[in-house]
């Protein structure tokens, strides 16, 4: 459950791919007939490409060399990539707002609305979306496997339910932080992104440092029991 606690701020960042990231796209220069939500497809395509790449190439080569990566290690890498994703979004947002402030903007029609868009191509969002997609493969996919295999007998359904619960809690944290920052900082989205990154990084460092010393996986427990 402590490991799952790390995923609450992770899911808060993950939810940005369907909320603030598309809104940011709408306020950047898009090709004619384009919609901000189209950029979310980059995240989905990254996931579809990464899963077979990891399974067919990376895992097989590591296994052949006798290297076995623990699920917690893979999840940790994914969490750090998520931090980089939201920090990349913060940089894009800071540049976007600076351009608008300096008068480098134009009116762009998005759906039935007209928004003030910066003269900055929407494709600057590609790094944050790719990082988010890779992160999802390493953290969420491996997380499902981790939750199921590490759950005690007869408690697998409960643990899987708890794992899914943190998704909702992460979305709630995201909404709460967004409302708080809108009230304090106005529309300073970059600080909201930075706050999410700091929250996830702080949780990751504290929880994983503790669990590295205290947590015993199922394999470790079985080996110790056999030795005894």
pLDDT value at residue 179:
85
Tens digits of per-residue pLDDT, 65-79? 888 877 888 888 899
pLDDT value at residue 176:
87
pLDDT value at residue 35:
77
Token pair for residue 67?
């290297």
Categorize the per-residue pLDDT at 164 as very low, low, confident or very high, splitting at 50, 70 and 90.
confident
Q: How far apart are CA 59 and CA 54, in angstroms?
A: 6
Q: How far apart are CA 18 and CA 9, in angstroms?
A: 16
Top-confidence residue, 215 or 132:
132
Judge contact between 139 and 79, C-beta under 8 A.
yes
Token pair for residue 79?
């969490």
Top-confidence residue, 96 or 212:
96
* Mean pLDDT to the nearest integer, 157-175: 84
* Mean pLDDT to the nearest integer, 190-213: 82
Q: How far apart are CA 144 and CA 160, in angstroms?
A: 7
Categorize the per-residue pLDDT at 214 as very low, low, confident or very high, splitting at 50, 70 and 90.
low
* Mean pLDDT to the nearest integer, 112-125: 90
* Mean pLDDT to the nearest integer, 99-125: 89
Task: Provide the β-strand partners of residue 107.
Answer: 116
Categorize the per-residue pLDDT at 40 as very low, low, confident or very high, splitting at 50, 70 and 90.
confident
pLDDT value at residue 67:
82
Phi, psi of 115 (to 5 degrees): -120, 160
16, containing H or E segment: none
> Does the pLDDT of residue 48 top 60, yes or no?
yes
- Compute and round to an integer the Cα radius of gyration of the chain: 20
> Does the pLDDT of residue 143 top 90, yes or no?
no
Please classify residue 5 by burial: count the beta carbons closer than 10 Å to its beta carbon, then call 0-12 exposed, 13-18 middle and 19+ buried: middle
Please classify residue 177 by burial: count the beta carbons closer than 10 Å to its beta carbon, then call 0-12 exposed, 13-18 middle and 19+ buried: middle
Task: Provide the β-strand partners of residue 121.
Answer: 29
Top-confidence residue, 178 or 188:
178
pLDDT value at residue 126:
95
Please classify residue 187 by burial: count the beta carbons closer than 10 Å to its beta carbon, then call 0-12 exposed, 13-18 middle and 19+ buried: exposed
Question: What value does the mean pLDDT of the chain take?
Answer: 84
């Amino acid at each position: 459950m402590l490991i799952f606690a790390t995923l609450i701020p992770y899911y808060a960042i993950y939810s940005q791919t369907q909320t603030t990231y598309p809104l940011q796209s709408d306020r950047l220069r898009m090709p004619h007939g384009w919609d901000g939500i189209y950029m979310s497809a980059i995240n989905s395509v990254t996931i579809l490409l990464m899963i077979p790449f990891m399974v067919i190439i990376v895992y097989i080569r590591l296994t052949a060399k006798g290297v076995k990566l623990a699920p917690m290690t893979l999840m940790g890498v994914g969490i750090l990539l998520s931090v980089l994703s939201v920090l990349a979004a913060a940089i894009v947002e800071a540049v976007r707002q600076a351009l608008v402030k300096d008068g480098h903007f134009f009116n762009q029609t998005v759906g039935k609305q007209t928004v003030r868009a910066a003269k900055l191509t929407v494709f600057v969002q590609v790094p944050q979306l790719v990082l988010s997609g890779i992160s999802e493969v390493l953290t969420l996919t491996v997380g499902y496997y981790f939750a199921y295999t590490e759950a005690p007998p007869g408690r697998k359904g409960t643990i899987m339910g708890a794992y899914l619960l943190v998704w909702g809690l992460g979305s709630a944290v995201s909404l709460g932080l967004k409302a708080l920052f809108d009230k304090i900082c106005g529309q300073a989205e970059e600080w909201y992104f930075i706050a999410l990154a700091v929250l996830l990084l702080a949780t990751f460092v504290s929880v994983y440092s503790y669990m590295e010393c205290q947590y015993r996986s199922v394999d470790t427990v079985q080996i110790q029991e056999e030795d005894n």
